[in-house]
Amino acid sequence: MKILQRPSLSMSTPSADATSTHSRRQFCAHACQAASLAAVGAILPGCGGGGSPTSPTPPGSSGNQPLAVLSGTASGRTVSVPIAAGGPLGATGNAALATSPLGSFLVARTSASTFSVLTAVCTHEGCTVDLFNGELFVCPCHNSKYTTGGSVANGPAERPLQSFPATFSNGTLAFAV
């Protein structure tokens, strides 16, 4: 009697070393990617956000509102800004940003006939201060706050805003720069 033998089917499979090496490589690659993401995640809060006092403050947060913009004219070194009774500077306590060919200026109405006029250039890094929270002018770049008289209420700015004496007559505010 003849015994038939089946031919052996030999399938080639990767060796255990090749399989484990491939898995180790994948593991190391994924571990390095995860470590990199964790490191970047730890560093990002230092780049901004997080609510720190030096982070940019978007309009509307903390009561900061964009100032109304008024157009002024210049004659020599004198800026004139019309003040309408029902306009942004029509009532005591209101503030606006006045723009003119000579620059941008923060204007606050401090009484029925007096105004405070300040440069709108932040003394910290030169951004245009264009927010107001009802009491203080606020720089949108690093959240420096200034009183309506120009003093620093909250840094990082360390120097006050330059002020300009102003006169108010016949509905027109005038100041020399």
Per-residue pLDDT tens over the stretch 34-90: 555 554 444 434 333 334 344 444 444 568 899 999 999 999 999 999 999 889 998
pLDDT tens by residue, 106-141:
999 999 999 999 999 999 988 999 999 999 999 999
Cβ distance 120 to 104 under 8 Å? Answer: yes
Pair of tokens at residue 120: 């709108």
Please report which helix (H) or strand (E) contains residue 119, including its range.
strand 115-119
At residue 50, the pLDDT reads 37
Mean pLDDT lowest for which of 29-33, 128-132, 168-172?
A: 29-33
At residue 4, the pLDDT reads 55
At residue 32, the pLDDT reads 54
Whole-model pTM: value is 0.65
Higher pLDDT, 68 or 19: 68
Q: Does domain 61-170 have CATH number 2.102.10.10?
A: yes
Nearest to 101 by CA among 125, 136, 83, 75: 75
Cβ distance 108 to 94 under 8 Å? Answer: yes
